[in-house]
Structure 1
Amino acid sequence: MIRAARGLVGLETSELAQAMDVTRKTIFSIERDQGRLDDPRRTRTLTNIRNYFVEEHGVVFLFEEGKLGEGVRLSRSEKTK
């Protein structure tokens, strides 16, 4: 969903990497769900990236629930700006 969030707000991989103080390779790896899922560094980085999108861009992450799939959208307050 990170790639979808980037697309929604128009961020390039390099811009997100710079904002998160990580490499582009780290962003690519997270977007492709590569790496060990139980790695605490990966989990911390993913949490920081999600928080960045929520706090800085008003992105809402929608997780799979029943018949509804996962996705991203802008919060209503961000849509009206």
Structure 2
Amino acid sequence: MNDLKRELDRRVDRLPEEHLREVLDFARSLARKKKPPDGPSVEEEIETIVQKVPDDAWKGVPADGAEEHDHYIYGTPKRNA
């Protein structure tokens, strides 16, 4: 056991009963916190994939694809036609 854990054990042993619940709740809240991912972020992953696409492959992608996605996916009339 390292020094930090020993000190924590000593201090917890001396706490009054009513404070132990607070310590336990705090320890549980720390355990629930999300840890940062070890690998690259989603944005970094997407950027890596996009960089692998040859420039000429983007020529067929419509410039208004995000704005007019319903048109390209479902065939609805363009909103800004």
TM range (shorter): under 0.3
Question: What TM-score results when the alignment is normalised by the length of structure 1?
Answer: 0.24
Question: What TM-score results when the alignment is normalised by the length of structure 2?
Answer: 0.24
Q: Comparing both chains, which one has the higher relative contact order based on Cα–Cα distances under 8 Å and sequence gaps of 6 or more? A: 1
Structure having the larger proportion of residues in helix: 2
